[in-house]
Chain A
Amino acid sequence: MPFVLSLSKDITHISKSFDKPGPNEFERGFSRASFATEQESYAMCGIVGLYLKNKALEPQLGALFEPMLLSMTERGPDSAGFAIYGDEVPEDKIKLTLQAQDESFDWASLVDKLEKKLGQPINWFRNATAAVLKTKAPEAEARAAIAEFAPEVHVMSAGRSIEILKGIGLPTEVTERFTLGKMKGSHIIGHTRMATESAVTMAGSHPFSTGADLCLVHNGSLSNHFLLRQELRRKGIVFETDNDSEVAAGYLAWRLKQGGSLAEALDGALQDLDGFFTFAVGTRDGFAVIRDPIACKPAVLAETGDYVAMASEYRAFATLPGIENAKVWEPEPATLYVWERH
């Protein structure tokens, strides 16, 4: 069943299920913009994603993905991060990923206070500077309690499946810190950052959470992020940084809160975000890829019977099993690609 329902009529969309590849996957998606001149940017960053179609590979998700992320080190040596999906909690529970600046942060005592305040037991584990909490307490109450007891702690992600882990340093430092290589899951997207628009901080690293089980990684730069941030703040979206990509994430979060589908939100992004971008969006069931109409930021897709992979460059695929027989192609400009499990 197609995930994408409606888009502006001049936007081509390509929707695929894992079972039945769409007939139009090579359909041309021409850009909507008419441009007399265009800018070329040297802003880098690397983005990578891997979705496993073959469940037998799920225990190896981290091991398969780590070299993909590391291969993009040259494109983004400042900081790195990833959003991994797996270890899903039941419908009546929520999973929060928290991060502290300090490795010695006393998570046990925070969890203790939260349990008392929320009146719900919390299952939790620590991973380096991060902790993953699972509870039946409502998300808003949990967030409020965390802000009360530990204002210095960031809520990186919330949902039933997603865990966002990120930090500053070379990608290899970040993946080692969180032992990415041993992680299991169904899909994962990641980012290596070369900062151009704002400071190199943990909060400025990607992925950015855009809602429950949703996240965004961005390669490119936005020129109207300042104004857009002001507008979105007025609409109640909270921003932590001066980062342009966070504005894109906030924009999608706002669109989705309005009740739009992910496809509608991304279609809106094509019209309202000024700048250039390749986005990869992680969802509970899969991921989506979209490039701006000028498409000067690179993106490559690869698909086999076992997985779908996306990356800024083909280099990131070189270590994937069976890549020599994969279908490899570049996503078209202003065209939405969605993969999800049905």
Chain B
Amino acid sequence: MFQSTPVTGRQDTEGLTPLPCPILPLKGEVSNRSQFLMKTIDLSAASVRDLNQALHDQAKQITEHAWTITHPDGKHNIAAGVDEALKIDIYGHAGYYCAGMNKKADVIIHGNAGVGVAENMMSGSVRVKGSASQSAGATAHGGLLVIEGDAGARCGISMKGIDIVVRGNAGHMSCFLGQAGRLVICGDVGDNLGDSLYEVHIYVKGRVKSLGSDCIEKEMRPEHLLELTELLERAGVKENPEAFRRYGSARQLYNFKVDNAHAY
């Protein structure tokens, strides 16, 4: 069911939209970095449960740094709950909650992602080569999520520290209740961006259909340009930071207002 193939470097994998990707420097204990094991798991034969158990087992002792997952076929929860600095490539379209709760791992989805990709991510990175469905990066505390296509509705809903970079458009209610982190959208955004926003820094290059309650446009100061430049660079997205506008919280909904006491 599981095949372990010793290879040097990354191999082209059979499956959907294979894309060559550079090897990132491996973290952790590796005696010989030029040669390592890459595990290929074919989800048309193995179950997601088996896959995720194998990935979770790496938290005890790393035996495989690089993982290739083929035939994801829209299955849910692929590579959810990983807790080690693994490199995971998924060739094809992933279903709901892919790479949810990710810690430390770098996950690349060579296809589209379903609802809630990288939801509750803590650290590491998730890159979606295609588009992502709704609630991408929901409630995530850290790490970097890059969506090379479009993001659906509610991108970054209740985000708590994650950085999200969307190269295309994002849907309505994006960054709803966003608490911390940065959300960068290179295309257009739908209705009610940043509704009930706390402290997320939002940068949008395209058109904003409408802003949600308590979300306002803010001045782009040098420190914001610097922050955005660094973020775009880290995401590998070539855009001119000066073409973006910044949005943030007006901070009017933070606390109970005594003016509203008569309503009770």
Instruction: State which of B49-57, B99-107, B188-196 sits at the interface with chain A.
Output: B188-196
Tell me the chain A residues, 197-241 only, with Cβ under 8 Å from chain B: none
B45-83 vs A, CB cutoff 8 Å, 1 = contact: the mask equals 000000000000000000000000001011100000000
Specify which of B74, B169, B173 is in contact with A318 (CB 8 Å cutoff): B74
Q: Which residues on A sit within 8 Å (CB–CB) of B142?
A: none
- Contact A30/B191 with A313-B74, A333-B153 known, Cβ cut-off 8 Å: yes
Tell me the chain B residues, 1-48 only, with Cβ under 8 Å from chain A: 15-17
Interface contact A333-B114, CB-CB below 8 Å: no
Q: Which residues on A sit within 8 Å (CB–CB) of B131?
A: 329-330
Main secondary structure, interface of A, reads loop
Q: Is B213 an interface residue (CB 8 A)?
A: yes
- In the complex formed, the residue of A with least CB distance to B152 is A330
Q: What separation, in Å, do the CA atoms of A31 and B71 have in the docked complex?
A: 34
Q: What separation, in Å, do the CA atoms of A308 and B171 have in the docked complex?
A: 24
| Residue among B75, B96, B172, B173 with the highest chain A CB neighbour number at 10 A | B172
Interface contact B191-A34, CB-CB below 8 Å: yes
Specify which of A296, A316, A328 is in contact with B134 (CB 8 Å cutoff): A296
- Contact A31/B190 with A314-B74, A314-B93, A330-B131 known, Cβ cut-off 8 Å: yes
Instruction: Give how many B residues have a beta carbon under 8 Å from the other chain's beta carbons.
Output: 33
- Contact A324/B17 with A34-B191, A38-B173, A298-B133 known, Cβ cut-off 8 Å: yes
Q: Can you name 15 extra interface pairs (CB under 8 A) apart from A34-B210, A318-B71? A: A30-B191, A30-B209, A31-B190, A34-B192, A36-B195, A38-B173, A298-B114, A315-B73, A315-B74, A324-B15, A330-B133, A332-B171, A333-B153, A333-B171, A333-B190
Residues of chain A having any CB pair with chain B under 8 Å: 28, 30-31, 33-36, 38, 294-296, 298, 300, 313-318, 324, 328-330, 332-333
Residues of chain B having any CB pair with chain A under 8 Å: 15-17, 71, 73-75, 92-93, 95-96, 112, 114-115, 130-131, 133-134, 152-153, 169, 171-173, 188, 190-192, 195, 209-210, 212-213
